[in-house]
Amino acid sequence: MHPKVDVPVFIEDAAAAVAWTVKNIAKYGGDPDKVFVSGHSAGGYLTAMVGMDPKWLAKYGVDHKKLAGLIPVSGQVSTHFNVKKWLGDKGSQFRPLVNEYAPLYYVAKDLPPTCLITGGRAIEWPCRVEENELLAISLKKCGNKIVEFHEMGGLNHGSVGGGSTYITPVFIKRVLDAR
């Protein structure tokens, strides 16, 4: 909806959707303790922001650490290049910026299980694979127990969304079995 709305309205909107789901899923036969959040590209960025920065869900009385898992698919984990531009940053879109709008800024212990999925580094969005790999390593080093990183060689930024459908159910089963 940009330019009609600006940063951080789209993160707030994503958080509202996730919070609504957590609070209402039982009415539809679901389990609020089994809510996984996933998205591709900008949706992957939003998945990580909502699941890692506590303030977005806290506004709705939802603890981000209670999400069953996060599955960002080819999400930017430094400050998204569009967000940087909208905030007035003049640097290259590929220059990483880690500020309050970067999932990497919120690396901590006890975050939800996380499965990071990217395409192959030779054909994926530039820097995307390396940033996601850094996030995975950082999450592991901070003591998070379930962190996966999958680079899907042969898939690009557009096709990795479809490819991720092979990894996602296996990750979800692994997380639920570990409980």
Spatial CB neighbours of 93, under 8 Å, sequence gap ≥ 6: 81, 84, 85
* Digit-coded pLDDT (tens) for 21-63: 999 999 999 999 999 999 999 999 999 999 999 999 999 999 9
pTM of this structure = 0.96
pLDDT (average), residues 100-122: 98
Cβ(69)–Cβ(124) under 8 Å? Answer: no
* Summary mean pLDDT of the chain: 96
- What is the pLDDT at residue 3? 72
- H-only helix segments in the chain: 9-24, 42-52, 54-58, 81-86, 128-141, 160-178
- What is the pLDDT at residue 162? 97
Distance CA 122, CA 73 (A): 17
What domains, with CATH codes, occur in the chain? Answer: 9-24+35-178 (3.40.50.1820)
- What is the pLDDT at residue 33? 98
Please state whether the peptide bond connecting residue 54 to the residue before it is cis, i.e. omega within 30 degrees of 0.
no
Tell whether the model's pLDDT for residue 1 goes beyond 90: no
- What is the pLDDT at residue 2? 63
Question: Residue 4: which pLDDT band, with cuts at 50, 70 and 90?
Answer: confident
Provide, rounded to the nearest whole percent, the portion of the chain with pLDDT above 70: 99
- What is the pLDDT at residue 62? 98
pLDDT (average), residues 153-171: 98
Q: Which two tokens stand for residue 9?
A: 């309205």
